[in-house]
Amino acid sequence: MSSKDHILKSVRNQLVPSADLPSLDQEWIQYDDAVAHFGEVLQAVGGTAIAVEGIDGLTEELAKVPAYTEAKKTVSCIEGLVGTVDLARVEDPHDLEDVDYAVLPGEFAVAENAAVWVTDANIRHRVIAFIPQHVSLVIHCPDGKVEDAVVNNMAEAYQRLTWGRNEFGCFISGPSKTADIEQSLVIGAHGARSLHVFFVV
């Protein structure tokens, strides 16, 4: 008998009482000002959030970020913002090893935990969300309303998601961090040393 059959048989042979699934339609937390809450939580986990007007506003704000202005090798997956490396032309993701700054699209934000949903839908190499020294996530707000780009909680977040394609998706909440040495929080473990979230209205 194959191991698969062996395991399935072994699991099926057990007398486990049946149990119903709970309803996920419950009163999950709502915030009076979800956008403000998102900003506060993001700050607490080491990131910053700001609303900007159009691509010009984004460029203007990025110009105030030293890590961006000092970056030698940059990647941008945002229309209207140019990086020094064209991601689509990179064959081997290892070539992205020395990227200093990446500006990537985020789909929407979650207020309760400051997470931003990021996928590889238009990003050829998913490592670009993790390997640069610094990362900014840019969320385009429908009809210029930031409120529409922020959901209250994770239950609402999953309602927005679909799983049609072979997608890689990640909730990113703040910069990479660790507290493995005596519980001292250190920002910049393996991934980004800083994370800015821009809402483009």
Does position 16 interact with another protein (CB under 8 A)? The reply is yes
Residue 83 or residue 93: which is nearer to another protein going by CB?
Answer: 93
Does position 196 interact with another protein (CB under 8 A)? The reply is no
- Please report the DSSP string for 56-118 in residue order: HHHHHHHTT-HHHHT-SSEEE-STT---SB-GGG--SGGGGTT--EEEEE---EETTTTEEEE
The distance of closest approach from Cβ of residue 48 to another protein in the complex, given in angstroms and rounded to an integer, is: 15
Does position 170 interact with another protein (CB under 8 A)? The reply is yes
Does position 29 interact with another protein (CB under 8 A)? The reply is yes
Does position 172 interact with another protein (CB under 8 A)? The reply is yes
Q: Which helix (H) or strand (E) holds 178?
A: strand 177-178
The distance of closest approach from Cβ of residue 1 to another protein in the complex, given in angstroms and rounded to an integer, is: 10
First to last CA, the chain: 60
Residue 3: both structure tokens together: 């191991």
How far apart CA 100 and CA 136 sit, in angstroms, is 11
The distance of closest approach from Cβ of residue 90 to another protein in the complex, given in angstroms and rounded to an integer, is: 11
Does position 86 interact with another protein (CB under 8 A)? The reply is no
> Within 108-147, which residues bind another protein (CB under 8 A)?
112-115, 124-127, 129-131
Q: Considering CB under 8 A, how many residues would be counted as binding another protein?
A: 74
Does position 153 interact with another protein (CB under 8 A)? The reply is yes
Q: Which stretch binds another protein (CB under 8 A): 48-56, 62-70, 71-79, 183-191?
A: 183-191
Does position 169 interact with another protein (CB under 8 A)? The reply is yes
> Within 33-62, which residues bind another protein (CB under 8 A)?
41, 45
The distance of closest approach from Cβ of residue 123 to another protein in the complex, given in angstroms and rounded to an integer, is: 11
Phi and psi dihedrals of 31, rounded to 5?
-110, 145
54: alpha, beta or left, given left = phi > 0 and alpha = psi -120 to 50?
left
The residue type of 179 is A
Residue 57 or residue 191: which is nearer to another protein going by CB?
Answer: 191
